[in-house]
Amino acid sequence: MIRIENASYIYPESGHAAVCGVNLTIQKGEFVTILGHNGSGKSTLAKLLNGVLLPTEGKVFVCDMDTALEENIFPIRSRVGMVFQNPDNQIVATVVEEDVAFGPENLGLPSEEIRERVDAALRAVDMYAYRKHAPHLLSGGQKQRVAIAGIIAMKPSCIVLDEPTAMLDPVGRKEVMDTVLRLNREEEITVVLITHFMQEAALSDRVIVTENGHIIDEGTPTEVLTKREKLQKARLDSPLATELLENLAEAGMPVDTKIIDVEACVNSICTALGKE
């Protein structure tokens, strides 16, 4: 789906290399999370994925199309949609359905097809009932779902979400994550999620850790998130469940520390207690 070959990006204003020599392949239908501390180059990497930024070195291919070629830019952007952190700054129109229609309108589709896509997209994010509402009256989670609907109305095969839940409360965060998961599982849309929340990373198929523009670790959530030293080096925290189990293990309790989710953690502690 997306192939990054030895790509680097240097911001011309600051001369800072935000991405250095990254190699990465994202498969169709995959759910990939990118983790990294502030300024580690996650957003820059995301912007390379749909040609908002062009790599200063190396290549990025989307469905075998080079992002550096002018004529590929619209086909690529309609295949790789991007959702940003602040929902207020990506909603264009004053009515929810008009905003969702913005992308398909830009693609020059006939209005009946736009109508169909808008309705389907709003249903997919469970916002159909709000189609006539004014976006500024919605909650943060609802706005972000409208923004996601605006992207899926373009029928992309991949959605890149750059910290979509960073400005939301726990309820909004759950709404957005449920929507993203459903799109990935049911509609088979490839998802690239950038986040600071370990619980969100735990839901994905593959986790990538960035540090200073490099990819320093990669693997399934359980593999990556249970390596405490490596996470510390990337200035990230272990998931709470893992941290608890590690502390218990250090204290001499026979628990499995290769666990990231709460339920498995509870089970592990219960069996350990049962054994004692």
Partner 1 sequence: MLRDITLGQFFPGNSPLHRMDPRVKILWTLFFIVLLFFINNFWGFLIYGLFMAFVIGISDIRPRMIFAGLRPILYLLIFTALLNIFLTGGENVIFKLWFLKPTWEGLYSAGIMAFRLIFLVLGSSMLTFTTSPIVLTDGIEHLMMPFSKIGLPAHEIAMMMSIAIRFIPTILEETDKIMKAQTARGADFESGNILRRAKAMVPLLIPLFISAFRRADELAMAMECRCYHGGKGRTRLHVLHLSQVDYYSVPVFMLLLLGVILTRVFL
Ligand X SMILES: Nc1ncnc2c1ncn2[C@@H]1O[C@H](COP(=O)(O)OP(=O)(O)OP(=O)(O)O)[C@@H](O)[C@H]1O
Write out the residues near ligand X by the rule CB under 6 A: 11, 13-14, 16, 18, 36, 38-44
In the complex, what is the shortest distance from the CB of residue 92 to ligand X, in angstroms, rounded to a whole number?
Answer: 22
- Tell me which residues in 38-57 interact with Mg ion (CB under 5 A): 43
**Among the listed residues 107, 120, 216, 264, the single contact to partner 1 using CB under 8 A:** 107
Q: Between helices 140-152 and 170-186, what is the axis angle to 10°?
A: 20
In the complex, what is the shortest distance from the CB of residue 41 to Mg ion, in angstroms, rounded to a whole number?
Answer: 9
In the complex, what is the shortest distance from the CB of residue 158 to partner 1, in angstroms, rounded to a whole number?
Answer: 12
Distance (Å, whole) CA 189 – CA 192: 10
| Residue number, 104 or 221, with CB nearest to partner 1 | 104
- Here's the x/- map for partner 1, 126-165, by CB under 8 A: it reads as --------xxx-------------xx--x-----------
Under rule CB under 8 A, residue 88 binds partner 1: yes
| Residue number, 14 or 89, with CB nearest to ligand X | 14
The phi, psi pair for 70, rounded to 5°, reads -50, -45
CA-to-CA separations, 151 to 40, 69, 117, 170, 175, in angstroms, rounded: 26, 22, 11, 23, 17
Q: Which does 201 bind (CB under 5 to 8 A by kind): ligand X, Mg ion, partner 1, none?
A: none
Under rule CB under 8 A, residue 82 binds partner 1: yes
Under rule CB under 5 A, residue 179 binds Mg ion: no
Under rule CB under 5 A, residue 195 binds Mg ion: no
Q: Look up tokens 């200063």; give the residue.
A: 56
From 36-44, 57-65, 94-102, 209-217, span contacting Mg ion (CB under 5 A)? 36-44
Under rule CB under 8 A, residue 96 binds partner 1: no
* Chain-centre distance for alpha carbon 222: 18
- DSSP assignment letter at 89: G
**Among the listed residues 68, 92, 264, 272, the single contact to partner 1 using CB under 8 A:** 92
Under rule CB under 8 A, residue 195 binds partner 1: no
| Residue number, 179 or 195, with CB nearest to Mg ion | 195
Distance (Å, whole) CA 158 – CA 154: 11
First-to-last C-alpha distance (Å) of the chain:
50
Strand 190-194 relative to strand 206-211, pairing: unpaired
Q: Cβ(226)–Cβ(238) under 8 Å?
A: yes
The count of C-alpha atoms lying within 13 angstroms of the C-alpha of 139, restricted to the half-sphere facing its C-beta, is 12
**141: buried, middle or exposed (CB in 10 Å: 19+, 13-18, 0-12)?**
buried
Host H or E run for residue 163:
none
Q: Which residues bind partner 1 (CB under 8 A)?
A: 50, 52, 74, 77-78, 81-82, 84, 86, 88-95, 97-98, 101-111, 114-115, 118, 134-136, 150-151, 154
